[in-house]
Each structure stands twice: as C-alpha cells, then as structure tokens.
Structure 1
Amino acid sequence: MFNRPSSFKSTAIKTIVFTMLVGIGLSGCTNPNTPAGQEGYVFEKPRIFGSGGYRGSLTGPSNYGVSLWRNEIINIDMRPNTYTENFKILANDDLNISFNFHAVIAIKSGTVKQVVEQFGAENWYKRFVRETFRTYVRDEVQKYDSVELKENRSNIADSVANKLKDYLIDSPFQINNIVVGNINYPEIVAKAVEKKLAAQQLLSEKETQKEIARKDAEIRIEEAKGIAEAQKIINTTLTANYLQHEAISAQRHMADSPNHTTVYIPVGTNGLPLIKGAR
C-alpha cells in the first residue's frame, strides 16, 4: 500500500483549518449602512476578541465598510416628524374636552451618538419628550373654560411650543411647530356654542338692519330739507311782477304757435287775463 508522506498530511490539515478560519472570519464580517435622511450609530458587540462599543457614525446614504469584526448599526431618522398626542382633559369649567396636539420635532445633525447613548436611541420621544409635552398641554388647556378653547387655540399652541423649546434647548431635539388639532366638545357644550353663534349672527343682522334704517332716515331727512328749502325759495320769489312776466311769456309762446287760435284779452290787473275760479 502506498503511504503519503506525513508532510503532505500536515499541509492538507493546515489548508483545511485555514479555509475554516477564513470562512468563519468572513461570516463574521459586516458592512453597516445608513439610508438617506438618517444617521447611523456603529458599534461592536464584544466577541472573543475586541473591546466592543462605539465605532463611529454615518450620515446617510453611506456604508461603514466591510469589517472583520461583527459591527452593527442603529439608524436614527433625523428628519422632522410629527408626533400626535390625544387628550381628554377637564377644562377650567370642569367639562371634559377631547382633542389632539401635533408636535413637529427634528433631531439636530451630528448628534446620533448622544441620542443613542443618552436618550434611548429610537425610543427617545417616549423616554424624554412625550410626558413633558403632555404635561405642558394639560397645564395650558386647564387655564380656559371649554367655550374659550377654540378661540385661544393659537395662544395655547404658542405657549406649549415655547415651554417645550426651553425644555429641549440643551438636547439634540428641536421643535419646528406645534398645532392644536380637532377640539370635540360634549353635546351640551356643542349646543351652547351653536346657540351663541346663532345669537351673534342674529345680532349682527339686526345691527346691519339698524344701520340701513338709519341711513334711510337720513336720506329722507335730507330730501325733506331739500323740498322745504325749494318751497321757501319759490314762496319768496313769486312776486306780482314775476307772475306777470311768466304769464306774458306763456301768452307769447302760445301766440307764436301756428295751431293756436285762442285770443287772450288782458283785462285783469297788470294786463293779466281773468281766470274764473271753480265753484
């Protein structure tokens, strides 16, 4: 039987071991990547070798590169996102009001390490912002009676936004906008609001009608003043000479007409025709 040299066997064993090690090594390689709009926190979980922990940050879209160590990544969305909270709160007049608040919050660029290590990574909103945000909303809403909420929604939103900005000033997070959503009143309040709006509308209509009537009265007064003034002028100008002048002018005009056959005999005072009064 042919026996292979022991050196050949040793080389074969080494080759097999090397191949296995390469396979194991390659299977442990990773290439962490971060999509657009996000930042990545690259870290290594400790294995047999290596200290583990934070390795670096990525700004998407990008890759960390192939690594012999099993690096992993936590990607955090840095873009502004809307966070909605629903409420059912007793207003200042002890009526239960349902509504929602919308907060648009973004994460400051380059802060992914701080977000992951200090604020709970993907859970940063629930851990650090949510309850404080809800507390500020409750505090502001309870300052108003239920019927005043809709009229003051912008004031409430501004106040909550300012408080939240102060709270987050030293954090990686920034408030872009705060908006009060739909406000739903209990049925009794909704009916009261409807009646109030209807009464205001009716009052507005009455004021409009009153203004129209006042303008009409002013017009009639001015017309009456004009008529009275005209009558006064006529009465002061209707003298005997003026009437004689008007009568002669009328007679002359009729006499010049080719179809006129009436003869006027000036037998009255100052040459005016006599006019027989009606019985």
Structure 2
Amino acid sequence: MKSIVPVIIVVFMGFCFLFVGFTNPSTPAGHEGYVKENPRVWGKGGFRGALKGPANYGVSFWRNEVENVDFRPQTYAETFHILAKDELNISFRFQTIIKVKPGSIQGVVEDYAGAEFYPRYIKEPLRAMVRRHVQTLESRQVKEKRADIAKSVMTELEQYLADTPFIVVSGAVGNIDYPKVVTQAVEKKLAAKQLLDEKETQREIAKRDAEIRIEEAKGIAEAQRIINSTLTVNYLQHEAINAQLKMADSPNHTTVYIPSGENGIPIIKNVEK
C-alpha cells in the first residue's frame, strides 16, 4: 500500500502538469494577434503566426502565447499649455484618430512595441508638431485658425507615419481657454460695445424724431404759405358776405347789419404792424 502512494502522487502531478501546460491563444473582435512561442526550456521561440479576431490559434502545449493589438480607429487626446507669440499662455486639447493597417500585426509588435505604439513612437513627435504650429501665432489667431492648425499638423503627421503601419484618420483642435485676465478684458469690451450700440440706437431714434418734427414744421409752413397766398381782399369780402347770409337765416338771434363799405360790402383792410 505504501508503494502505491508515491505512484499516485506522481501520476496526479503529471496530470496537473499536462493540464496547466496546454495553452489556447485567442484574439477578440477588432484586434489582431501576434502568436509567439515562448522557449522557456527548449526551442528558439519567436513569431508563430497571426490571428484576426475573433479567432483561436488552437490548443498547444505550454509555449505558445498571443499579444493582441486593437486595430480599430482610436482617439488620442493631448492637453497643451502653450505660450503663444504674444506671450499669453493658452490651453487646449488636440484630438487625433489613428488606426492600424490590417494585416500588419507582425511589424507592429516587432518594430513598434505592439499595443504601446502610440506612447512609444507617436505621442511626443505629435506634441512637438502641435507646439510648432501654435507658437508662431498670436493667442487670438489660434482660435481663428484652429482648422488650419489641425490641417497642417495632420499633413506633417501623415508624412511622419508614411512608412509605418499606422493611418491618420483625422485631427482637431478642441476648446481653447485663455487666461482669466484676457477673458475679463473680452467681457468688458463686449459690455462696452453693447452700451455703445444702445447709445447709437438711441441717437438714431432721436434723429428720426427730429426729422419727423422738421417735416411736420415744413408741412405747416407750406400750408400757411398756401393759405396766405389765397387770402385776397376779394376772397375775404366774399367770405364775409356768406357769413352775413348765414346769420340772416338763423332763427335764434337778430342781426343788425350796418353797411360800412361801398354798396354795403364789408371793408377788408390789411393792418400794418
């Protein structure tokens, strides 16, 4: 019985060794996998094949492993605090979308650090490009030319990555923040402009009112001129006779008519001041 126990232990350990010794490298959807042999005890190791997810390499004994890299377009955001040409410190984010060329997993892992390709080979060159294109502009120009900045940086980045497995999809300058003193100055300027616009509106209203009064005065003066030109002596005598006729026909009072001119016609005389 005692001789059987060591045999059982050895068999059990053998099964455990076989169980933990098998591997089944797999790659999820959207990724490509770099399958490599880990020599550990024997063998030369190295690249064994590529997987395009979702996929499994198959059960293998002990030594095969997989390094997966996401091949879908990824957004990389960088925050900047840059001193512009006019010595104002501006803050903004620059967002870049980059993807990996399909079928290039071996080169990505062996030449560009695999999944760490962005921080190892792209991040700092990209940041240097953004700084270079922003520092030549004044702070107010950065916001006005944000599209031009992004276009210039993308052109330079595409040239930098021309012979690599990486594709630049797009880039954009995010929200730009100015120092507090600049923001306050802009707010004061806008408030002053609003007040100036209000005063200008009031001036225009007053001007229009004055023009209306002038036109009214012109109308009154013209009416007086016309009336004065038609008030002749004969016209006034005619009007006086008509008034006398109306009073004679009135039943409410008695009118005494005293002739004062020739043939009883009222005398109309201009009175000199």
Output the TM-score relative to the length of structure 2. Answer: 0.69
2:175 match: 181
CA contact (8 A) 2:158 2:168 kept: yes
Mapped to 2, the partners of 1:228 and 1:156 lie a distance apart of: 67
1:92 match: 85
Mapped to 1, the partners of 2:64 and 2:247 lie a distance apart of: 121
CA contact (8 A) 1:89 1:98 kept: yes
* Amino acid aligned to 1:105: I
Residue 137 of structure 1 and its aligned partner are, at CA, apart by: 1.8
1:39 match: 32
Output the TM-score relative to the length of structure 1. Answer: 0.67
CA contact (8 A) 1:264 1:273 kept: no
2:93 match: 101
* Aligned pair partner of 2:138 in 145, 170, 181: 145
Gaps of 5+ in 2: 1-6, 269-273
The farther-off stretch of 212-221 and 139-148 is 212-221
CA contact (8 A) 1:165 1:175 kept: no
CA contact (8 A) 1:42 1:72 kept: yes
CA contact (8 A) 1:88 1:98 kept: yes
* Inter-CA distance 208–23: structure 2 relative to 1 (3 Å threshold): same
The farther-off stretch of 102-111 and 132-141 is 102-111
* Inter-CA distance 51–203: structure 2 relative to 1 (3 Å threshold): same
Residue 107 of structure 1 and its aligned partner are, at CA, apart by: 0.8
Mapped to 2, the partners of 1:66 and 1:174 lie a distance apart of: 37
Mapped to 2, the partners of 1:118 and 1:250 lie a distance apart of: 123
* Amino acid aligned to 1:101: R
Residue 144 of structure 1 and its aligned partner are, at CA, apart by: 2.5
Equivalent residue runs for 1:157-236 within 5 Å: 157-171=150-164, 172-185=166-179, 187-236=180-229
2:252 match: 261
Residue 264 of structure 1 and its aligned partner are, at CA, apart by: 6.0
Residue 197 of structure 1 and its aligned partner are, at CA, apart by: 3.4
CA deviations 1:157-205 (Å, max 9, x no partner) are 44334433443344423232312334241x5444444443344334433
Residue 233 of structure 1 and its aligned partner are, at CA, apart by: 4.0
Q: Could you say what secondary structure the match of 2:60 adopts?
A: coil
* Inter-CA distance 195–252: structure 2 relative to 1 (3 Å threshold): same
2:65 match: 72
CA contact (8 A) 1:102 1:178 kept: yes
Residue 226 of structure 1 and its aligned partner are, at CA, apart by: 3.6
* Amino acid aligned to 1:144: L
* Amino acid aligned to 1:100: F
CA deviations 1:59-109 (Å, max 9, x no partner) are 3x33333334633222222334332323332221233x1413231313145
Task: Among all aligned residue pairs of Structure 1 and Structure 2, give the percentage whose two residues are the same amino acid.
Answer: 44
CA contact (8 A) 2:143 2:176 kept: no
* Inter-CA distance 87–226: structure 2 relative to 1 (3 Å threshold): same
CA contact (8 A) 2:90 2:139 kept: no
How large is the RMSD of aligned CA atoms in angstroms?
4.1
CA deviations 1:90-143 (Å, max 9, x no partner) are 221233x14132313131451433332332212111122211221122122212
CA contact (8 A) 1:84 1:101 kept: yes
* Inter-CA distance 265–39: structure 2 relative to 1 (3 Å threshold): farther
* Inter-CA distance 225–49: structure 2 relative to 1 (3 Å threshold): same
